[in-house]
Amino acid sequence: MSLREDQIYRYSRHILLPEVGGDGQKKILNARVLVIGTGGLGSPVAYYLAAAGVGTIGIADGDNVDLSNLQRQILHFTEDLGKPKVESAKKKLMALNPDVNIDVLNYRITEDNIRSIIKDYDFIIDATDNFPAKFLINDACVLEKKPFSHAGVLRFDGQTFTHIPGHMCYRCIFRELPPAGAVPTCSEAGVLGAVVGVLGTIQATEAIKYILGVGELLKDRLLVFDALAMRFREVSLSRQKDCPVCGDNPVITEIKEYEQPVCDIRERR
């Protein structure tokens, strides 16, 4: 493919980068990225992927827009209240960049459909906000040998890493779901809206770097962000040989969906 005149101008700041150039921009335009979750993390991820010209962006989410979302989920506006999040997201992304094809998946990703869905994409973004979804995405991506970006945010803190086949996965750090009452969700404990923007932007950057094949990805490294202190710290990790899904003798060979453990933070005060 050759770039049109309007594309050369639209993506000119990319093309000027030696690490991207015209050939790199063509890679981006031919890429397919799936964003699971169009909320706090998924909003900045999808915006920057669309702005970059990622050719096909899948957006998967079965929820509708709620008033409490608008403090951080910047893909959605007040006029979108009650609408499916994926439809609200598609409208904004297409307005930003009509070059991009948006695959709308207006349903929940489950153990029954995830493997068939992720097969069609080059890179997966875990932009979910609950542990069962994160374990589901991790296990499916490892089994299907798909690279993905993980991120999690709570209160003023966040963390992210990138999984590449053969390297550390989510279960190398967290073997099982936390017990009920151990970790609250954002709806229970709160979250600073701008923090998800920071982490989501990092996820989008990792996806674009992977597509281009440039730079050093966050593989075997957990990047931790403390917004109150305005500090990043890095934890070096590695694939665990006894990991139940990516280890030398995996025991997880099929996808299993878990229930969300309930945490009542009032009981912990």
21 in a domain, yes or no? Answer: no
pTM for the full predicted model: 0.93
Q: Is the residue at 239 inside a domain?
A: yes
Q: How buried is 28 (Cβ within 10 angstroms: 0-12 exposed, 13-18 middle, 19+ buried)? A: buried
pLDDT over threshold 60, residue 252: yes
In whole angstroms, what is the distance from residue 56 CA to residue 41 CA?
Answer: 18
Structural tokens at position 40: 């706090």
Mean pLDDT of the chain: 93
Would 7 be classed as within a structural domain?
Answer: no
Examine residue 187 and state whether it is found in any structural domain, yes or no. yes
Residue 159 in contact with residue 224, Cβ under 8 Å?
Answer: yes
Domain encompassing residue 255: 31-268
Residue 219 lies inside a defined structural domain of this protein: yes
pLDDT attached to residue 268:
34
Has residue 230 got a pLDDT over 50? yes
Grouping H, G, I as helix, E, B as strand and the rest as coil, residue 42 is helix
Q: Is the confidence at residue 177, as pLDDT, over 90?
A: no
Please report whether residue 3 resides in a domain: no
More confident residue, 217 or 175: 217
Between β-strands 32-36 and 101-105, what pairing exists: parallel, antiparallel or unpaired?
unpaired
What percentage of the chain exceeds 90 in pLDDT?
A: 88
Q: Supply the pLDDT for residue 260.
A: 64
Q: Residue 25 falls within a domain, yes or no? A: no
CATH number at residue 138: 3.40.50.720
Beta bridge partners of 157: 154, 226
Asked if pLDDT for residue 261 goes beyond 60, the answer is: no
Question: Domain total for the chain?
Answer: 1
What pLDDT was estimated at residue 257? Answer: 87
Q: Is residue 174 part of a domain?
A: yes
Which letter does DSSP use for residue 100 in this model? S
pLDDT of residue 30: 98
Residue 213's identity, in one-letter code, is G
User: Could you tell me where the beta strands, DSSP code E, fall in the chain?
Assistant: 32-36, 56-60, 101-105, 123-126, 148-154, 157-163, 221-226, 231-236
